[in-house]
Amino acid sequence: MYPDSDSCRIVPRDQHGISRANISENALKVLYRLKQEGYQSLLVGGGVRDLLLGREPKDFDVATDARPEDVRRVFRNCRLIGRRFRLAHVHFGPEIIEVATFRGGGGELEDDGERHLENGMIVRDNLYGTREEDALRRDFTVNALYYNIADFTVIDYAGGLEDLQAGRLRLIGDDPERRYREDPVRMLRAVRFAAKLGFNIDPDCERPLRAWSSLLGGVPAARLFEEVLKLLHSGAGLVGFEKLRHYDLFGQLFPATEECLAHEDHAFPITFVSRGLANTDRRIQEDKPVTPAFLFALLLWEPVRRRFFTLVDRGLDPHEAMVQAGGEVLAAQLARVSIPKRFSLPMREVWELQPRFEQLDGKQPHRLAAHPRFRAAYDFLVLRAECGEADPELADWWTRFQEASCLDREGMTGPARKKRRRRRPRSGPGGEGAETRGKPSTGGRDGG
């Protein structure tokens, strides 16, 4: 490693661990093609960071001096996207290589697109710049490293290599508060990378997190949905959740849930979310599918459950109560973090099926088992039972029911079975709680 100039450090190919064998073929195609066309062409961001850490990158981002229109001319399989940042997406089947033109503070303007600020927040940033300027407008030093396809060197303008070595997340520049104000999502990104990489947040960047958490209120709910997913579906969701709470950021995203967790005498609501997230992390590590519907069902369950019991106490039947409780909690939540309908509908079904697990007579269990959302709802019930919030015997019954032959199922649901009494919450509206149940369920399968 040697200083190349005053402003950057250049690490030659034999002194860093990045090998082209670990870069996706499609990313290499894009890099080489741009270079062939006479443009600068570099890998940047999480791809470089993760390769240097010996981790498998989630995706590959390319930085270039080619304008988005130039990129589109070079690649037929290319679409331009974004208003806040105009980007080129080069499509290769399911893989998208994101190509971004160098941005900066003092460069040429693209159409009418200068840097727009509202209350110090960047709402539009299509100001082109040099490679160095591009590095310095990025968020964390470890995210501002470039791998240059022209000579296979790694370029570091911001001290990212040193921070990478130290396992430290540091915002670029000497005014972290300004950087968070420019884009409050950087607070969530700090938490995400700290959780995912196991890095420490530099004290100067950590300090403002709590004080500035309310800035998240100014971020569009749709963008927060994307960020929450990236954070909690990263394979380190449980740590991410704990850190969000630690920095008072969770309450900005899920105020109703935070209200329940903060004023909870019993451990099960927090255990429920933590266990669910741990299951989700395990599934991601095992390459099993996960769905935002289950994740949000998990995160919003406690406020839904409480509202449900209030409504039941007012005389609503369980189904109506769950439909209404789900609707109310969702409506309030959408103001903070939007949840697209394709996820909120199945999420509500998972909730609405919960009271139906208590009906064990006649045709009901057979109908429920044939419901398209049955599997997710059953996983949800098991999780509830594991935390002592639902009856473990009930979860066991459903585990046995699924494993039973058709004939045995008929036997299990004979008309002689007595109707079960619904459990009451241990606390919350309505008061009198159910007594502690016996052994925990062993029929648990992964949720998520």
Contact flag: residue 46 with Mg ion (CB under 5 A)? yes
**Cα–Cα nearest to 382, from 393, 394, 373, 395:** 395
How far does Cα 322 stand from its chain's mean position? 26
Is 313 marked active-site? no
CA gap 53, 79 in Å, rounded: 31
Count the neighbouring beta carbons within 10 Å of the beta carbon of residue 67: 17
Residue 139 binds which entry of Mg ion, ligand ATP, none, CB below 5-8 Å type-dependent: ligand ATP
Q: Where does this chain touch ligand ATP (CB under 6 A) — which range of 4-12, 58-66, 304-312, 392-400?
A: 58-66
CA gap 171, 268 in Å, rounded: 37
**Distance linking the first and last C-alpha atoms of the chain:** 44
How far does Cα 88 stand from its chain's mean position? 23
* From 18, 41, 61, 261, residue interacting with ligand ATP (rule: CB under 6 A): 61
**Catalytic residue, candidates 59, 70, 248, 396:** 59
Residue 328 binds which entry of ligand ATP, Mg ion, none, CB below 5-8 Å type-dependent: none
Provide CB contacts within 8 A for 429, sequence distance 6+: 306, 309, 310, 313
Is 139 marked active-site? yes
* From 183, 202, 281, 391, residue interacting with ligand ATP (rule: CB under 6 A): 183
Residue 27 binds which entry of Mg ion, ligand ATP, none, CB below 5-8 Å type-dependent: none
Residue 183 binds which entry of ligand ATP, Mg ion, none, CB below 5-8 Å type-dependent: ligand ATP
* From 66, 164, 185, 277, residue interacting with ligand ATP (rule: CB under 6 A): 185
CA gap 272, 278 in Å, rounded: 10
**Cα–Cα nearest to 62, from 41, 38, 37, 32:** 41
Contact flag: residue 59 with Mg ion (CB under 5 A)? yes
For Mg ion, which is the closer residue by CB, 57 or 448?
57
What's the closest the beta carbon of residue 236 comes to ligand ATP, in angstroms? 11
For Mg ion, which is the closer residue by CB, 61 or 281?
61
CA gap 343, 347 in Å, rounded: 6
Q: Where does this chain touch ligand ATP (CB under 6 A) — which range of 55-63, 256-264, 269-277, 335-343?
A: 55-63
* From 20, 58, 73, 246, residue interacting with ligand ATP (rule: CB under 6 A): 58
For ligand ATP, which is the closer residue by CB, 44 or 330?
44
Is 59 marked active-site? yes
Q: Where does this chain touch ligand ATP (CB under 6 A) — which range of 18-26, 107-115, 181-189, 250-258?
A: 181-189
Count the neighbouring beta carbons within 10 Å of the beta carbon of residue 209: 22
* From 131, 186, 283, 307, residue interacting with ligand ATP (rule: CB under 6 A): 186
Pairing of strands 154-156, 168-169: unpaired
CA gap 406, 178 in Å, rounded: 64
Interaction pattern, residues 378-417, with Mg ion; x per rule: CB under 5 A? ----------------------------------------
**Catalytic residue, candidates 139, 156, 183, 391:** 139
Contact flag: residue 96 with Mg ion (CB under 5 A)? no
Interaction pattern, residues 143-162, with ligand ATP; x per rule: CB under 6 A? xx------------------
CA gap 11, 161 in Å, rounded: 10
Task: Specify which residues 118 forms β-bridges with.
Answer: 121
User: 3-state secondary structure string, 287-321?
Assistant: CCCCCHHHHHHHHHHHHHHHHHHHHHHCCCCHHHH
Active site residues: 59, 61, 139
Give the residues lining the site for ligand ATP (CB under 6 A): 45-46, 58-59, 61, 138-139, 143-144, 183, 185-186, 230
